[in-house]
Structure 1
Amino acid sequence: MSSLIAKYNVPGPRYTSYPTVPFWNTADFNRYDWQQRLTSAFATSNYTAGISLYIHLPYCESLCTFCGCNKRITRNHGVEEPYVGALLDEWAMYCEWLPERPRLAELHLGGGTPSFFSTHQLRRLLMGIFRYADVVDEPDFGWEGHPNNTSYDHLKTLYEFGFRRVSFGVQDYDLVVQQAIHRHQPFANVRRVTEQAREIGYTSISHDLVFGLPFQQVSSIQDTVKQTLSLRPDRISFYSYAHVPWIKGNGQRGFRDEDLPNGDQKRDLYETGRALFEAGGYTEIGMDHFALPHDSLRKAMKAGTLHRNFMGYTTTRTDVIIGLGASSISDVGTAFMQNEKSIDTYLTEIEANQLPILRGHLLTDDDVKIRQLILDIMCRFQTSWSITDWTGEEWALLTSQLDDLRDDGLLDYDTTGLRVRSEGRPFLRNICMVFDRYLTSSPVLATPVFSQTV
């Protein structure tokens, strides 16, 4: 394993999309084409499957120095009202385009810190969303809460609007690690919100943990997992810390690079956690996730219906994902679009009744094909193809790379497809990179972009 980590621990995408954002062809993207592809996808899928809606709530009261999300740090809660107003104005713009009322199949509130917002503003937001939309019979609504500021009223209010999933950011209970990442969060707070959510009736409670953090030791992972298992969350996200300090404003200069575990140490942290989760009755789901047998994520993986999008792993697959808010990303199957990342610019453009487009990408037929291959690998650890899908030159290049992965014991493949071995799951991103035409054909990016794959 040590030699494989040394070989494969390279910068690489996490593949929440394909192509990945740095390789989007923004030169050929415009609002007209985006609107046409959105309305086309909507017209063919809204009635049968509904749509997904992601809402980005970017504010936090304090900076966590492990976080690479788009956020703004403030204790001024006066920002809530104008931001919610802008979200509702943006939603109204979309609904004016659409030929019929959207049917919401999936709704997710992310951040930032959604629990930064008062229940009054969250209620105002959701009432405004549902004013223009209907809901499918069995929707999947989820949100992210900070254990330190999530109240019973937050949980109850969102439950009343149909939310049945909630995820709480835990990261690590070790005080040394918490000090380094500026995330002071006692176990008592996590226990409180977990028990309250369960009491109210949430059917899927998730705890988000991170491995590879500064000063993290095997002992701290063992202690964190032990405390997590005592609360028995339905799902657990066990993420690899993505060290990307070159991204402006993400705060990842709060510790030194040498404070981080190296590749071998980082893998030990993961394997320690995984063994404890599996011993506790959890099953590994895709990449970085675990779930108990009754959870819908586990059932979806078993049934082969697990899906992955910009919101992560999900049981819901729709042809249309609309992202509202600063930096949010929309996906209509054949096109991606990202909103302005600057909150001030976002607010200004919404006030001017302009869709706040930062960039986008219109997928080619080849993009769609490769996207599905990568999605299959990420969700099912296998994929299939026909030999006629590849030119002779493409197949020769692909097999030379796959042979190397097979020789290292990571996968098996033939002319009909591939299957990832259990030994290959730690290197899932590396396997997907073999199919990424943009990584191999595009010029080298001028600045670092991706975190290490291990």
Structure 2
Amino acid sequence: MNTPRFAIEFDRKLIASLPSLGPRYTSYPTADRFSPEFGASQLQATLQQHIGSKPISLYVHIPFCNTICYYCGCNKIITKDTSRADTYIQYLDKELALLAQNWTGKPELAQLHFGGGTPTFLNTEQLNHIFTSIRRYFTLIDHGEYSIEIDPRNVSAETVAFLGQLGFNRISVGIQDFNPIVQKAVNRVQSEAETRYVIDAARQNGFRSISIDLIYGLPYQTEQSMQETLQQILDLQPDRIAMYHYAHLPHLFKPQRRINTAAVPDSSTKLDILQNTIHFLLENGYIFIGMDHFAKPQDELAIALAENRLQRNFQGYSTHADCDMIAIGVSSIGKIADIYSQNEKDLNAYYLALDKNRLPVLRGYQLNADDLLRRRIIQDLMCHFELNYADYASILPQPFKLYFADELTELTQLSQLGLLHLHENKIQVTPKGRLLIRNIAMVFDYYLRLKRTHNHYSQTV
């Protein structure tokens, strides 16, 4: 399936010449555009209008971890006291009850994802409690995608079996790196044996998909050490692999201050690691999905890519991103029709809002017509690697080339660099441009073009 259509070309000189920072576009506009003027009443009105008629997605944020990984920039609470989650679960119940007042019946769940933090921080009783609440307000379906992020260091085979009984059918396993020196430097010591144990248990209990997360750019990583990790990963045969770039920002994330900055690989070494990783995965049969994601040819993501059905949402690439997504828990972000809504980031503020019988909305955003248009364009570029002008004729007030004249002028420059082809009626991303798709998508970001953003973005490659 690695035909020219799915090819990818690694051009180091070109990568170095382009802007190195940019949004991941799990949403457009990006979260830095969200406003505190958006409140619970707007979320409620949108839910009442849009939820109930079609399958939806649900995201559940579990913020607890029992140890701290020094590289992590997520919203998390470090504690070994699992009873702290009992209180949190009661508030998840309350949030679900308040949300469900805004629709009738039990909407079907096409997609469910437990993220964190560490969702497997919860014990079986706590997990069962949340699933009982979910089943009270939603209908789980046979072909739904129900996933959970797992830390193999604190999961038994019995727990994996229980997760399958609850209804989960996909797991995402955090590994980052198997090298013991790297693991010690980031305070995440995790053996291949315990990782394999959890993955084997998932397969034995009928899980349909195993995803693995890796990070490049961690302290003490080298091209050789990552090559050894990749060989170990290949032996595990995951269905999907994500290879994320580590952004060393100790001024923003306090845990990163415990990392020896001098041990973080330089830009050249990181590109060596990334280039080798891409070649290794392609040579061993994985398909490049986009950005930093790879999948086996028979995986649903690869099939969706081949059939032009690939989508993108806050969890990354997906086959169900066109679903409205309800998000519960502290700091979680949902998308319903033309709005985004984010919950309180502080746990006490989250609790206080629910104590007042108010949805814990911190901020949000209502998209205008231009936002909706650009969101669709960026989605097409990120997921399909091409853009047909005719697809937008019915929703544009004027021809595509006139409406986006400035953007097309800028794209001409990227075309001259070999990132894309500008045809008479479409834009087509080249194998060289696929790896740099974020740079291409950034051209259509209205707020980025006007520098109306103050976010700290990650590196595009």
> Which stretch shifts more, 181-190 or 264-273?
264-273
Which residue, 317, 326, 330 being the options, matches 2:330? 326
Q: Is the counterpart of residue 10 in structure 1 residue 15 in structure 2?
A: no
Which residue, 308, 313, 323 being the options, matches 1:309? 313
Asked if the contact 1:286–1:380 (Cα under 8 Å) also holds between the matched residues in 2, the reply is no
Which residue, 36, 41, 50 being the options, matches 1:41? 50
Q: Which residue of 2 aligns with 1:226?
A: 231
| Unpaired segments ≥5 residues, structure 2 | 1-10
Which residue, 236, 248, 267 being the options, matches 1:243? 248
Which residue, 270, 286, 292 being the options, matches 1:288? 292
Query: Following the alignment from structure 2 to structure 1, what is the Cα–Cα distance between the partners of residues 124 and 177?
Result: 28
Which residue, 57, 60, 80 being the options, matches 2:62? 57
Amino acid at match of 2:418: G
State the secondary structure of the residue aligned to 1:202: coil
State the secondary structure of the residue aligned to 1:274: helix
Asked if the contact 1:13–1:20 (Cα under 8 Å) also holds between the matched residues in 2, the reply is yes
Q: Which residue of 2 aligns with 1:211?
A: 216
Query: Following the alignment from structure 2 to structure 1, what is the Cα–Cα distance between the partners of residues 417 and 264?
Result: 27
Asked if the contact 2:64–2:79 (Cα under 8 Å) also holds between the matched residues in 1, the reply is yes
Asked if the contact 2:148–2:172 (Cα under 8 Å) also holds between the matched residues in 1, the reply is yes
Query: Following the alignment from structure 2 to structure 1, what is the Cα–Cα distance between the partners of residues 111 and 432?
Result: 33
Amino acid at match of 2:346: S
CA positional deviation for 1:9: 4.2
State the secondary structure of the residue aligned to 2:427: strand
Q: Which residue of 1 aligns with 2:135?
A: 130
Q: Is the counterpart of residue 299 in structure 1 residue 303 in structure 2?
A: yes
| Unpaired segments ≥5 residues, structure 1 | none
Asked if the contact 1:287–1:428 (Cα under 8 Å) also holds between the matched residues in 2, the reply is yes
Q: Is the counterpart of residue 428 in structure 1 residue 437 in structure 2?
A: yes
CA offset digits 1:362-391 (Å, max 9, x no partner): 000111110011111111111222583557
Q: Which residue of 2 aligns with 1:438?
A: 447
Query: Following the alignment from structure 2 to structure 1, what is the Cα–Cα distance between the partners of residues 250 and 369?
Result: 35
State the secondary structure of the residue aligned to 1:184: coil
Q: Which residue of 1 aligns with 2:171?
A: 166
CA positional deviation for 1:67: 1.3
Percent identity (aligned): 38
Query: Following the alignment from structure 2 to structure 1, what is the Cα–Cα distance between the partners of residues 399 and 219?
Result: 45
CA positional deviation for 1:16: 0.3
Residues 30/349 of structure 1: CA separation in 2 closer, same or farther (3 Å cut)? closer
Amino acid at match of 2:110: A
Q: Which residue of 2 aligns with 1:395?
A: 404
Amino acid at match of 2:75: N
CA offset digits 1:267-314 (Å, max 9, x no partner): 221121121112222111122111112221111111111111011111
Q: Which residue of 1 aligns with 2:267?
A: 263
Query: Following the alignment from structure 1 to structure 2, what is the Cα–Cα distance between the partners of residues 164 and 177?
Result: 31
Query: Following the alignment from structure 2 to structure 1, what is the Cα–Cα distance between the partners of residues 301 and 404?
Result: 34
Amino acid at match of 1:200: N
Q: Which residue of 2 aligns with 1:450?
A: 457
CA offset digits 1:107-159 (Å, max 9, x no partner): 10000001111011001110111012212341110000001011223211221
Query: Following the alignment from structure 1 to structure 2, what is the Cα–Cα distance between the partners of residues 437 and 405?
Result: 18
Query: Following the alignment from structure 1 to structure 2, what is the Cα–Cα distance between the partners of residues 31 and 355?
Result: 6
Which residue, 355, 358, 364 being the options, matches 2:359? 355
Q: Which residue of 1 aligns with 2:428?
A: 419
Q: Which residue of 1 aligns with 2:81?
A: 76
Asked if the contact 2:40–2:360 (Cα under 8 Å) also holds between the matched residues in 1, the reply is no
Amino acid at match of 2:444: F
Q: What's the TM-score once normalised by structure 1's chain length?
A: 0.94
CA offset digits 1:165-222 (Å, max 9, x no partner): 0011000011221122111111111111011111111110111111122221111111
Residues 451/246 of structure 1: CA separation in 2 closer, same or farther (3 Å cut)? farther
Query: Following the alignment from structure 2 to structure 1, what is the Cα–Cα distance between the partners of residues 341 and 196?
Result: 38
State the secondary structure of the residue aligned to 1:434: helix
Query: Following the alignment from structure 1 to structure 2, what is the Cα–Cα distance between the partners of residues 10 and 293?
Result: 30
Q: Which residue of 2 aligns with 1:156?
A: 161
Asked if the contact 2:215–2:243 (Cα under 8 Å) also holds between the matched residues in 1, the reply is yes
Residues 371/114 of structure 1: CA separation in 2 closer, same or farther (3 Å cut)? same
Q: Is the counterpart of residue 335 in structure 1 residue 345 in structure 2?
A: no
Q: Is the counterpart of residue 145 in structure 1 residue 155 in structure 2?
A: no
Residue-pair matches, total = 445
Q: Which residue of 2 aligns with 1:103?
A: 108
Query: Following the alignment from structure 2 to structure 1, what is the Cα–Cα distance between the partners of residues 307 and 175?
Result: 29
Amino acid at match of 2:64: Y
Q: Is the counterpart of residue 32 in structure 1 residue 44 in structure 2?
A: no
Query: Following the alignment from structure 1 to structure 2, what is the Cα–Cα distance between the partners of residues 417 and 69?
Result: 38
CA positional deviation for 1:25: 4.2
CA offset digits 1:235-266 (Å, max 9, x no partner): 111122233434355x2222244432333322
Amino acid at match of 1:122: L
Q: Which residue of 2 aligns with 1:190?
A: 195
Q: Is the counterpart of residue 406 in structure 1 residue 415 in structure 2?
A: yes
Asked if the contact 2:33–2:453 (Cα under 8 Å) also holds between the matched residues in 1, the reply is no
State the secondary structure of the residue aligned to 2:23: coil
Q: Which residue of 1 aligns with 2:119?
A: 114
Asked if the contact 2:290–2:435 (Cα under 8 Å) also holds between the matched residues in 1, the reply is no
Asked if the contact 1:9–1:263 (Cα under 8 Å) also holds between the matched residues in 2, the reply is no
Residues 2/275 of structure 1: CA separation in 2 closer, same or farther (3 Å cut)? closer
